[in-house]
A and B are shown apart, each in its own frame.
Chain A
Amino acid sequence: MSIVTELAILVLAAFVGFEVISKVPNTLHTPLMSGTNAIHGIVVLGGLLLMHESSGFLEHVLLVIAVMFGTINVIGGFVVTDRMLGMFKRKPDPVAQVEADAGDGTDSGAAGGAGAGGEGERE
């Protein structure tokens, strides 16, 4: 791609980003933050792309650490966001209310959902 094409993509992405993100309500700012956090973990692709042409111990170590960091960022970010979002509820219906009162039903439910969200990531 030419630099002009790429700058065009960059500028358009900025406008789309501003448009979409400015509609997110205050309530969801923490999940928004951790969700976008997970998305910038996409730099892991850079590590994947460079691995095969790197040589020598130092470069391998640097890239393995980079891939590890990126993976932590992506997987951790999406899982934790999923966990958080699972907690946001409207006024609970009577059934949910009973369950919540019964104890930690909500917590285990959220953790289960998090596991499912994580599965999608493990390629």
Chain B
Amino acid sequence: MIGVGTVFVQSSSFVDALYIVAFSLFIYGMSGLTGPRTAVRGNKIAASGMAIAVLATLLTKGVLHGGSTPWLILLGVVLGTAVGIPAAVNVKMTQMPQMVALFNGVGGGAVALIAWVEYRHHFGGGFPLKVEIPSLFAAVVGSVSFWGSNIAFAKLQEILPGRPIKLPGQSAINLGLLVIAAASAVVLAAGTHSQALFVLGILVSAAVLGNMVVLPIGGADMPVVISLLNAFTGLSAAATGIALDNSALIVAGMIVGASGSILTNLMAKAMNRSVPAIVAGGFGGAVAAPLHSGGSDGGTVRSTSAQDVAIQLSYARLVVIAPGYGMAVAQAQHAVRELERALEAKGVEVKYAIHPVAGRMPGHMNVLLAEADVPYDLLREMDDINPEFSRTDVTLVIGANDVTNPAAKNEPGSPIYGMPILEVDRSAAVVVLKRSMASGFAGIDNPLFYDPKTSLLFGDAKASVSQITTEIQAL
């Protein structure tokens, strides 16, 4: 082994072997996630891999050296456990996107802090480039991830408004911050050792950059942002692994990086937008103009009552339910499940149409419906369900808007033109549950609402669904 920072070398092959076992378990565990039946076990296998990795680290020679070391480690672990477990056990499924953002953020924060300490150790020289470059990378990316995730959390938790917040010259400011962070890193790597340059130049500018990048991104783009930040934290962890000469960190970090990148791409594709365009932000702001013109030529909408919807649904053969973020906001998933059961009791076939970016994170709707005990084989992905809309009697749209907007197919001038949608307008009738006539996140009018075969039921989604269920049972 080539000595790296002398102390980081783990001479014991036993420890290295344990790391290999650990990352094999990560990979094996993740491959269990390819199906719901093997997934629970897969997650446990990955968790046991993590336990082995921690054990191996504690077995490394010298790691528990020093009187206070074990206690400081214990303190950190106890504090982390005391925060992590209650949070994980108590979080509502509707709040899962914020939880993931938060967990992602603390991971990025840990990376940045570790890089900082490492930099201090090598302060004043003796910093091999192989350690220095990955550490600087980890400091920048970890810090961006930490602050970006916190902003994402605050937006999802509605501490900050979900709409894009944009400063004039935002892109220039972001670019400037990135240049400051990168230039500081280059200067440091070139041999200048300055604590202030590291802390201010890298950590602070990356922190501000993290804030500035996520603030202008609107709520509906969150699936992309969360995936991207997840990839960032993974890559920064892999960089830390190179700096620390730790194979488990490299493999684990890189797998997360790969997974985050795949999800980012899938989400961006499902919105027909490029990742840079989303990061540049301000989708809601950019299309403010069409909002006004759209309202005028809209025509009239037909509103309906729970009782009418109940009759309509009861006499259908196939009903498709298309849920969106509105279902999550109203916590209506259990009520929706009740409705599905009531319809099935009447002999109506019910399926769910799940758009990949419905909700605030990849797979958000699936988790909510799973929580409500909906069997996952009733959930259909967009490509599977679209051909079925032509034989669907009634489609029930619950709190979804942009993902059902036919303008994405028919109006080349529309800002969302080209985005793949659930083609609900092809079913014989459409019922839309909506709080009000406010436009969706994108601020685009939805021609679906003015379609003669569409009727709208206004009100809170949960209350409306329960009412429909009661009416169906009374029929």
* A residues whose Cβ falls under 8 Å from a Cβ of B: 1-3, 6-7, 9-10, 13-14, 16-18, 20-54, 58-60, 62-92, 100, 106, 111, 113-115, 117-118, 120-123
Per CB-CB distance, the 3 closest pairs between chain A and chain B, nearest first, are: A71-B80, A67-B76, A17-B258
Measured CB to CB, the nearest residue on chain B to A76 is B84
From B23, B252, B263, name the one whose CB has the most chain A CB atoms within 10 angstroms: B252
From A67, A91, A120, name the one whose CB has the most chain B CB atoms within 10 angstroms: A67
Per-residue A-contact encoding for B88-102, CB less than 8 Å = 1, 0 else: 110101001001100
B91 and A80 within 8 A (CB): yes
Please report the C-alpha to C-alpha distance between residue A54 and residue B68 in the assembled complex, in whole angstroms: 11
| Contact pick for A27, options B36, B246, B258, B361, CB 8 Å | B36
Contact A37 B91, CB 8 Å, known A42-B253, A48-B63: no
Per-residue A-contact encoding for B224-263, CB less than 8 Å = 1, 0 else: 0011001001101110111011111111111111111011
Q: Does B387 contact A (CB under 8 A)?
A: no
Measured CB to CB, the nearest residue on chain B to A22 is B262
Interface residues of B in 362-384 (CB under 8 A from A): 362-364, 366-367, 370-371, 373, 375-377, 379, 381
Q: Which residues of B contact A28 (CB under 8 A)?
A: 33-36, 39, 363, 366
A25 and B34 within 8 A (CB): yes
Question: How many residues does chain B have at the interface if contact means C-beta atoms less than 8 Å apart?
Answer: 119
Contact A67 B118, CB 8 Å, known A40-B237, A42-B253: no
Measured CB to CB, the nearest residue on chain A to B130 is A3
A83 and B255 within 8 A (CB): no
Contact A10 B250, CB 8 Å, known A26-B363, A52-B65, A69-B110: yes
Closest approach, in angstroms, between the C-beta of A45 and any C-beta of chain B? 5
Measured CB to CB, the nearest residue on chain B to A106 is B373
Contact A76 B85, CB 8 Å, known A10-B242, A69-B80: yes
| Contact pick for A33, options B46, B72, B237, B361, CB 8 Å | B361
Contact A82 B44, CB 8 Å, known A92-B373, A114-B88: yes
Q: Does B449 contact A (CB under 8 A)?
A: no
Q: Which residues of B contact A7 (CB under 8 A)?
A: 242
Contact A60 B72, CB 8 Å, known A14-B258, A82-B40: yes
Measured CB to CB, the nearest residue on chain B to A123 is B54
Q: Which residues of A contact B230 (CB under 8 A)?
A: 33, 36-37, 40
B117 and A71 within 8 A (CB): no
Please report the C-alpha to C-alpha distance between residue A10 and residue B176 in the assembled complex, in whole angstroms: 30
Please report the C-alpha to C-alpha distance between residue A118 and residue B247 in the assembled complex, in whole angstroms: 24
Q: Which residues of B contact A2 (CB under 8 A)?
A: 2
Binds A, one of B24-32, B165-173, B302-310: B24-32
A49 and B43 within 8 A (CB): no
Q: Does B179 contact A (CB under 8 A)?
A: no
Please report the C-alpha to C-alpha distance between residue A51 and residue B29 in the assembled complex, in whole angstroms: 29
**A-B CB contact pairs (8 Å), 17 listed:** A1-B245, A16-B27, A17-B255, A31-B39, A35-B29, A35-B42, A37-B230, A39-B234, A48-B54, A49-B8, A51-B72, A65-B110, A67-B77, A72-B87, A81-B43, A89-B376, A120-B47
From B8, B76, B121, B236, name the one whose CB has the most chain A CB atoms within 10 angstroms: B76
A3 and B242 within 8 A (CB): yes
Q: Which residues of B contact A21 (CB under 8 A)?
A: 30, 255, 258-259, 262
Interface residues of B in 260-303 (CB under 8 A from A): 260, 262-263, 266
A69 and B107 within 8 A (CB): yes
| Contact pick for B371, options A32, A75, A87, CB 8 Å | A87
Chain B residues touching A, majority SS: helix
Please report the C-alpha to C-alpha distance between residue A84 and residue B1 in the assembled complex, in whole angstroms: 42
Contact A49 B246, CB 8 Å, known A33-B100, A70-B110: yes
B370 and A87 within 8 A (CB): yes
B1 and A49 within 8 A (CB): no
B36 and A38 within 8 A (CB): no
Closest approach, in angstroms, between the C-beta of B139 and any C-beta of chain A? 12
Q: Which residues of A contact B118 (CB under 8 A)?
A: 50
From B363, B364, B381, name the one whose CB has the most chain A CB atoms within 10 angstroms: B363
A51 and B106 within 8 A (CB): no
Please report the C-alpha to C-alpha distance between residue A39 and residue B33 in the assembled complex, in whole angstroms: 14
Measured CB to CB, the nearest residue on chain A to B142 is A43
Q: Which residues of A contact B55 (CB under 8 A)?
A: 123
Q: Which residues of B contact A53 (CB under 8 A)?
A: 7, 121
A50 and B255 within 8 A (CB): no
Closest approach, in angstroms, between the C-beta of A44 and any C-beta of chain B? 7
A37 and B356 within 8 A (CB): no
Q: Does B433 contact A (CB under 8 A)?
A: no
Measured CB to CB, the nearest residue on chain B to A75 is B84
Q: Does B457 contact A (CB under 8 A)?
A: no
Measured CB to CB, the nearest residue on chain A to B22 is A42
Contact A123 B51, CB 8 Å, known A39-B46, A73-B106: yes
Contact A51 B259, CB 8 Å, known A46-B110, A121-B47: no
Closest approach, in angstroms, between the C-beta of A17 and any C-beta of chain B? 3
Measured CB to CB, the nearest residue on chain A to B77 is A71
